[in-house]
């Protein structure tokens, strides 16, 4: 059983389209995250949800909208895709306690053409 | 604010040689520190973490790291490199009392030569 699973693994789309990435964790964690890894492999947090409530929203364009239907799922919807959105997006989850290990999904490689 | 600096974006060692990947952090409160490994086209896997229990932390695959507060460092070492260790390594810091909001370093690509 995959602990944190994301779909799709690869996503190629045209500029201006709207797309979603889904994430599910079966670890029973309360907290889920979205990270973005750019072409230089730099990782930066985008959002964090705790028990379906948004607790971290970094300076991300409002074209990006996370949605958490329940604490096991955190989806990422992106409107009006731009070339600069091309990256690998990682979902992760952890327990709520400070210093808890984050478990990462396999990533979704988004290419905007 | 928290930050991480990894010295050396690329490190190359021979198989069997010592691996040393450097990480320095900045944190306004006692930090939690992590090393993650990323193999090509895969997600991140935790190697080890420091959460103030012990300054020398042992992780998976023979890796260990030592927390040195005076040097604000958390360098990763392995006595003998294997070909399978070739990957991207990330040092990360978390300050939070809730969850694991990670600030990552820029990563170090480890190459192991036969």
Q: Give every CB contact of residue A112 below 8 A, 6+ residues apart in sequence.
A: A13, A14, A15, A81, A82, A83, A84, A85, A86
- Reported in sequence order, the residue ranges of chain A that DSSP labels E, i.e. its strands, are 4-7, 10-13, 19-25, 31-37, 43-50, 53-57, 64-70, 73-78, 87-94, 103-104, 108-112
pLDDT at A4: 96
Q: Which of B38, B100, B104 sits opposite A101 (nearest CB)?
A: B100
pLDDT along chain B (114 residues), means of 10: 92 98 90 94 93 89 95 97 97 78 94 96
Residue A94: list chain B partners with CB under 8 A: 99-100
Q: What is the mean pLDDT of residues A21-25?
A: 97
Q: Is A66 on the interface with B (CB under 8 A)?
A: no
pLDDT at A98: 75
Q: Which of A94, A106, A107 sits opposite B100 (nearest CB)?
A: A94
pLDDT at B98: 61
Give A36-57 pLDDT, tens digit per residue. 999 999 999 999 988 888 887 7
Tell the residue number behind the tokens 């979902």, with chain if given. Answer: A91
Chain B closest-CA separation from residue A34 CA (Å): 10
In chain A, pLDDT over 90 holds for what percent of residues?
79
pLDDT at A1: 67
In chain A, pLDDT over 70 holds for what percent of residues?
99
Residue A80 has pLDDT above 70, yes or no: yes
Residue A107: list chain B partners with CB under 8 A: 41-43
Residue B103: list chain A partners with CB under 8 A: 45
Distance CA A109, CA B66 (A): 34
Is there a contact between A41 and B107 if contact means CB atoms under 8 Å apart?
yes
Tell the residue number behind the tokens 């010592």, with chain if given. Answer: B18
């Amino acid at each position: 059983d995959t602990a944190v699973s994301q779909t799709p693994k690869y996503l190629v789309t045209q500029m201006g389209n709207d797309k979603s990435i889904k994430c599910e964790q079966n670890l029973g964690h309360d907290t889920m995250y979205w990270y973005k890894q750019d072409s230089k492999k730099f990782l930066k947090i985008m959002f964090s949800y705790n028990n379906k409530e948004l607790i971290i929203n970094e300076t991300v364009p409002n074209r990006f909208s996370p949605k958490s239907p329940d604490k096991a799922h955190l989806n990422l919807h992106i409107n009006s895709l731009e070339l600069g959105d091309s990256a690998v997006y990682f979902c992760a989850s952890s327990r709520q306690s400070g210093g808890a290990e984050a478990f990462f999904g396999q990533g979704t490689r988004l290419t905007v053409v | 604010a928290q930050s991480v600096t990894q010295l050396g974006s690329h490190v190359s060692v021979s198989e069997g040689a010592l691996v040393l990947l450097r990480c320095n952090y900045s944190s306004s409160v006692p930090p939690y520190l992590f090393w993650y490994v990323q193999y090509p086209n895969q997600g991140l896997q935790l190697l080890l973490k420091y959460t103030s229990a012990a300054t020398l932390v042992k992780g998976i695959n023979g890796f260990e790291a030592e927390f040195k507060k005076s040097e604000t460092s958390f360098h990763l070492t392995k006595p003998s490199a294997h070909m399978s260790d070739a990957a991207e390594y990330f040092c990360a810091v978390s300050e939070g009392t809730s969850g694991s909001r990670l600030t990552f370093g820029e990563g170090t690509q480890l190459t192991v030569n036969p």
